[in-house]
Structure 1
C-alpha cells in the first residue's frame, strides 16, 4: 500500500468507496500532558498518529481523526495539560464506534499512545460487544517488554514509560525537531509506600517530569522500535481480519 485513506481529507464519496473496499478503521488515541522539559505536550498523540498512519499504509485501513485528550489527572496542575474524566474517554471511544458502524465499518482498531487510556479502551470494547455488531481491537505498544529489553539501555521506573529513553527515542524517530536533547535528564523519583494506594500522584513525585533516563535516547533506537511496533500492529490487524472474516481487495 502507498496511499493512506485519511478520513479528514476525503469527500463523502471517497469515504463511502474506501469503506466498501476495506471496511476497517483505525482510531489514534493520545493525551495532552507534560513530558518533561525536553519533549512537547503532544508526545502521546504524535506517537499514536505516526503508528496509526503506518499501519493504515500497510493494511489499507481508513485513518480516523485522532482523539488528542485522555485521562491526565496526575498532571492537571501543569500548564498545557488537558484531562478528561476516565469515563468520558470510554464514552468517546464508544461514540466513535457506534458512528462508524452505521456506515459499514466492520472492524475498529484503537492505536493508543497513552498508558492511562488502556482502562478506557478495555471497558469500552467490552461494553460495545453487547451494543453493536462490530469487533474492536485495542493496541498499546505490543510486546513492549521485549522491545524495551532489546533496544533500551536504561530501566523503566517501576515498569512505567513516561518521557524516558523509550518515549524520547520514539519522538526522535517521529519528529526530532520537537525534541530538545540538551534538556533531557535522568530521574527516578522515590516511590512512596502509599503510591497506588491513595491520591498520591505522579505529578507530586518528579521534579523534571521524567520517569527514567531520557539522556540515553537516540533516533536509531526509536526507528528500530517504531518498525517493530508497526510490523506487529499490522500483523494483528490482518489477523483480526481473518478472525472476523473481513474481505477486501487488499491482502488481509
Structure 2
C-alpha cells in the first residue's frame, strides 16, 4: 500500500489494523559512466514497493538524496550533510508515529546512509516512540551476490548494474560496461584502502578514476531478476517477523538495576 495513493480515511482504516511501515531511502550520486545517478533510490523504491504490495504494509515516498559527499567530485552528485539527513529522516518517521505506526523498516540502498539511519532508530527507540531498523538489500543476500559475480564491487559494480537492468534497463548505458570496468577498479582489495593499518582516503575518486568498482561486464538482467526476487523475499520475511513482535519486546529494555545509583 503506497501512502500517497490513499485517502486519509483509508489510512485511518490501515492504522486501526496494522502499525508497520516501510521507508525507502537511497541517493542521487554518480554510479560511473554506465548507470544513472538515480541507481540507489530506484533500487530502494522498487524493493520497498514490491514488498509492500506482497504484504499489504504501508510504504512511504522515497528519500532520494542521502549522505553522499564522498562522491561530490563527480558531476551531478547531490548530498545532504549527516546532521540534516538524520534530523529530516527522524522528523519524517515521527510523522508516522503520530498517525499510529510503531515499527518501521528503512529500506536502504546506499551505504553512506547506514550509520545515520541506525542513529535515528536508536533515538526513536530510546525515547519510546517506536522501533525502527535499517535494512540493506545486498547485505540480506551475501551468498547469492558472491555466487553470481567474481568481482561484485561495493559501488557501481555488476550487482547494482544487474538490478538496474532488471528495474529500468533503458537507463543502463550498456555500451559503457567495458569502459566502466577498465576505468575503475575491478577488484578492490585492502591494498587500495589502507596504509599500515590506516584508512587514508575520504572520497571515492581517490581510489577509482571513474568512481566505480567491480566488473560491470558480468551484469545481466537475468542476474538482476534473481537478486531482486531474493532480496524481496528477505524483506517480506523481515516485515512479517517484525509485525509479529510485541512492541514491548522491541523497545529499549529497562535498566538492569531497578534503583540505579542507590547505595546499599
Normalising by structure 2, report the TM-score: 0.84
* Alignment counterpart, residue 175 of structure 1, candidates 168, 175, 178: 168
Give the conservation status (yes or no) of the 8 Å contact 1:22–1:60: no
- In 2, the alpha carbon distance for the partners of 1:29 and 1:196 equals 30
State the partner residue of 1:249: none
Change (3 A) 1:242 1:132: same
Give the conservation status (yes or no) of the 8 Å contact 1:101–1:132: no
* Alignment counterpart, residue 60 of structure 1, candidates 56, 63, 80: 56
- In 2, the alpha carbon distance for the partners of 1:44 and 1:20 equals 33
Q: Does 1:191 align with 2:184?
A: no
* Runs of 5+ unmatched residues, structure 2: 249-264
State the partner residue of 1:210: 212
* Alignment counterpart, residue 47 of structure 2, candidates 47, 51, 71: 51
Structure whose residues are more often helix by fraction: 2
Give the conservation status (yes or no) of the 8 Å contact 2:193–2:200: no
Q: Does 1:96 align with 2:89?
A: no
Deviation at 1:215, TM superposition (A): 1.0
State the partner residue of 2:108: 112
State the partner residue of 1:250: none
Change (3 A) 1:231 1:46: same
* Runs of 5+ unmatched residues, structure 1: 247-252
- In 2, the alpha carbon distance for the partners of 1:130 and 1:17 equals 28
Deviation at 1:151, TM superposition (A): 2.0
Aligned residues: 238
Q: Does 1:132 align with 2:128?
A: yes
Give the conservation status (yes or no) of the 8 Å contact 2:141–2:230: no
Flag as ranges the 4+ runs of structure 1 deviating above 6 A: none
- In 2, the alpha carbon distance for the partners of 1:196 and 1:182 equals 37
- In 2, the alpha carbon distance for the partners of 1:172 and 1:200 equals 30
